[in-house]
Amino acid sequence: MSAKTVLITGCSSGMGRQTALALHRLGHRVYATARRPESIADLAAQGLHTLALDVTDEASMVAAVREIEQRHGAVELLVNNAAYGLHQPVESAEPAEVRAQFDTNVFGLVRLTQLVLPGMRAAGRGRIVNISSMAGRFSPPGGAFYHASKHAVEAISDSLRLEVAPFGIDVVVVQPGPTITEFAGTAVDTMHTAPAADDPYGSFRAELADMYAHKSFTRRGGAVSAEAATRVIVRAATTARPRARYAIGGLSRVVMTARRLLPDAAFDAVMRRSFPVPRSAAPLN
């Protein structure tokens, strides 16, 4: 397999970092990126190219793609990995939080894809790997906006796959289940676990934060290691004939299959057993 020019977002930690290292070890020219260049300085010391890239900043994205194209002609493999999880009840989420969630997880992914596609089309080849999630196939209490962003990634990828195939470009979706990375800690940080006394969702958010911190993102909760997830991402990025989707982890496959097969009422019952839900106050007499 010939060396490819690779651009990966969100390489400061977790799957992005490990994917960058794995592809570098395979001999590819890897451009690892992050909002804070100092967070990936050690990757440069290991021989990877590093760039500052903020997927919520147009100038940052344009500059990164332009630099790579000036050096190598085109980005041949784009891994859209940068994302985080906002977990809030729909009623109490701040509009600015919701916009920030979609700016990072959806609009940044779309814009960076738009920027690399002309070079891929001119070369007559390329691959875009979008890191989605099993979250793109269902939505539990407290997860509306993060899961909606991953539903959007799924829909965008399906359309894009058909649109760019005639130009020799593959589009692949990777759907991790819970993965042992820093994601859970970031998700907990969005839950505002010190609510006001009259907050109807206060105890719900506290229970949700506890679940994310101590249960769902551990091996006991069915999570897979970042190393195992990385192996699947690398396969999706490098195999000669990629599938449209790669699910990561048994829990991911089970939940997505259940969502597809169960009627809504039955799947809602599964969600209520698996996740905390808000409790209404006792009715007044």
215 among known catalytic residues: no
Catalytic one of 12, 60, 149, 216: 12
Q: Which two tokens stand for residue 27?
A: 């001999």
- Phi, psi (5° rounding) for residue 138? -155, 175
Catalytic one of 31, 60, 146, 216: 146
Q: What CA–CA distances, in Å, run from 131 to 47, 86, 204, 237?
A: 24, 16, 29, 11
12 among known catalytic residues: yes
Q: What CA–CA distances, in Å, run from 238 to 5, 23, 57, 141, 254?
A: 12, 9, 29, 36, 26
252 among known catalytic residues: no
CA 131 from centre of chain: 5
DSSP string, 127-178: EEEEE--GGGG---TT-HHHHHHHHHHHHHHHHHHHHHGGGTEEEEEEEE-S
The C-alpha atoms of residue 104 and residue 86 are separated, in whole angstroms, by 11
Catalytic one of 4, 31, 60, 132: 132
Q: What CA–CA distances, in Å, run from 133 to 83, 146, 179?
A: 11, 10, 10
Contacts with 228 (C-beta within 8 Å, 6 or more apart), sequence order: 248, 249
201 among known catalytic residues: no
Catalytic one of 31, 150, 216, 246: 150
* Secondary structure of residue 14 in the 3-state scheme: helix
Catalytic residues: 12, 132, 146, 150
